Structure 1
Amino acid sequence: MTTQPNIPESTDDDLSPLLSEPFARAWAAPAPGLPGRMGERLGERLERSLKAEQGMVTVRRRKAQAEPMAEGVQQRWLYRAPTGRAPRPGEPRAASVIELEAGGRLALPPGGPREFLVLRGSVEVDAERLSLRDFLLLPAGSTPLVASRDGAHVFVREAEGEGDVERTLVRDQEAGWPEFAPGIRRRVLWAGGGQAALLYRADPGASVPNHSHGHDEECLMVQGELFLDDVLLQTGDYQLAPAGTGHRITETDTGVVLYAHGDLDLQFC
């Protein structure tokens, strides 16, 4: 991969227009019954939020560009690492969603270790039939054929380098959901070198305390909605938080199933 897609390199600043007119002038007026200026307090909150999100990549599914790859196959890019610098700890080489219509087929070129997670339908990857939420990890150098008889969406993550990983298959119907924290269950799909590929299932109202990232942390929303600080992620949305950043707020009102790739052991602050 040599080029960066036309996606934002920082968060989708949904709140940034609120810092401009006409809102800024309206908020500058005193708020009856409240000390100080509401505009100043809200502006400070927004500035803190935007500063915390600097360097993060947030991609909305509805905005991700679809690139035709073959007849009946398109690929929505979520992330492609820029060239010319050393990768961060845990940074992916690329992440995307491959969307196949019924009968669609795509041969992938050789690359680094690749993870596949089925988001919709069923698919064959390297002659392995995968259903909803099944996970497959292939070693570096593989040239898998991705095909679907009835149509499917599959998340694909390619790691940097020639990491020494073994072929790993985790079937959703067989894996279970071990308890991780109150209201949260976690499935370890793969782990090595302090990082891991994970599936989380959280109940409505569940939250994770303030934590930092020793590796790049990727979150892909499989189902439901999740607040990462002041950013609301919905089904199909993706966020990459670089190593060295953190999240003050991680909580869901709806309940959620999400894929994450990052620290095996969360670094709570």
Structure 2
Amino acid sequence: MSDARPGLPTDADYPEIEPALQDALLAAISGPAPSARRLAKLRARVLDAAGQPPVAIFKLEEDAFKPLFPGVRIRPLRMDPVANSQTSLWRLEPGAVIPSHDHLGEEECLIMEGSIVWNDREYTPGDFLLARPGAHHEPFVSPNGCLLMIRSELTPFIEKLFLEE
């Protein structure tokens, strides 16, 4: 049984193009590379057509946070398995502690609400902490609670939280 449907062209309807002719045709139609702005617009159109809007909105809904460990909940925002990175919001209750840990990859932390204390120093809204690969964190504590935005490596534990979304 043939896969061809009546009236539709098949591969047999298109002759093989010789490599030299193909190269000449490609050279004739090539032009300057599109600008970054043009590429961004094209990407947005493709994503929109694929059902992925060019802008994703994540509301700060408390019920979207998932327990990570005692007094700490995480709100997954973005996961990129190819780059092995993730972006998330972390809600720490008053007195919550983020245990001591090491970083294999870079971590960015923006304090959005409240404060954290690390190495006897308090960090407040707008403070930005950057941990380089290989960095070791002593425990963080949030005396009055806080909201952090964290971009970091995608660990298997955090990836599991994202996939539960």
TM-score bucket of the superposed structures, by smaller chain: 0.5 to 0.7
Which of these residues, 168, 172, 176, is aligned with residue 64 of structure 2? 176
Gap regions ≥5 residues in structure 2: 1-35, 42-53, 158-165
User: Secondary structure of the equivalent of 1:171?
Assistant: coil
Deviation, 1:236, is 1.3
Partner of 1:65: none
Residues 174/203 of structure 1: CA separation in 2 closer, same or farther (3 Å cut): closer
Residues 190/175 of structure 1: CA separation in 2 closer, same or farther (3 Å cut): farther
User: Secondary structure of the equivalent of 1:170?
Assistant: coil
Partner of 1:195: 85
- Kindly indicate which of the two structures has a greater share of residues assigned to helix: 2
Deviation, 1:258, is 0.7
Give runs of aligned pairs for residues 116-127 of structure 1, distance below 5 A: none
Residues 251/174 of structure 1: CA separation in 2 closer, same or farther (3 Å cut): closer
> How many residues get paired?
107
Q: Normalization by structure 1: what TM-score?
A: 0.36
Q: Are residue 254 (structure 1) and residue 144 (structure 2) matched? A: yes
Q: RMSD in angstroms over aligned alpha carbons?
A: 2.6
- Kindly indicate which of the two structures has a greater share of residues assigned to strand: 1
Match for 2:76: what amino acid? V
**CA distance in structure 2 between the aligned counterparts of 1:238 and 1:192, rounded to whole angstroms:** 22
Residues 237/141 of structure 1: CA separation in 2 closer, same or farther (3 Å cut): same
Q: Are residue 218 (structure 1) and residue 108 (structure 2) matched? A: yes
**CA distance in structure 2 between the aligned counterparts of 1:234 and 1:266, rounded to whole angstroms:** 29
**CA distance in structure 2 between the aligned counterparts of 1:211 and 1:174, rounded to whole angstroms:** 26
Query: Contact 1:198/1:259 (CA < 8 Å) preserved in 2?
Result: yes
Give runs of aligned pairs for residues 89-238 of structure 1, distance below 5 A: 141=40, 167-173=55-61, 176-193=64-81, 194-238=84-128
The one-character-per-residue Cα deviations of 1:172-225 (angstroms, maximum 9, x if unpaired) are 248611111111110110012332101000111111111111221111111001
Larger Rg: 2
**CA distance in structure 1 between the aligned counterparts of 2:156 and 2:92, rounded to whole angstroms:** 16
Q: Normalization by structure 2: what TM-score?
A: 0.57
**CA distance in structure 2 between the aligned counterparts of 1:263 and 1:195, rounded to whole angstroms:** 4
Residues 210/223 of structure 1: CA separation in 2 closer, same or farther (3 Å cut): same
**CA distance in structure 1 between the aligned counterparts of 2:114 and 2:89, rounded to whole angstroms:** 13
Residues 234/174 of structure 1: CA separation in 2 closer, same or farther (3 Å cut): closer
The one-character-per-residue Cα deviations of 1:96-121 (angstroms, maximum 9, x if unpaired) are xxxxxxxxxxxxxx59xxxxxxxxxx
Moved over 6 A (4+): none
State the percentage of identical aligned residues: 27
User: Secondary structure of the equivalent of 1:189?
Assistant: strand
Gap regions ≥5 residues in structure 1: 1-109, 112-139, 143-165
User: Secondary structure of the equivalent of 2:57?
Assistant: strand
Residues 173/205 of structure 1: CA separation in 2 closer, same or farther (3 Å cut): closer
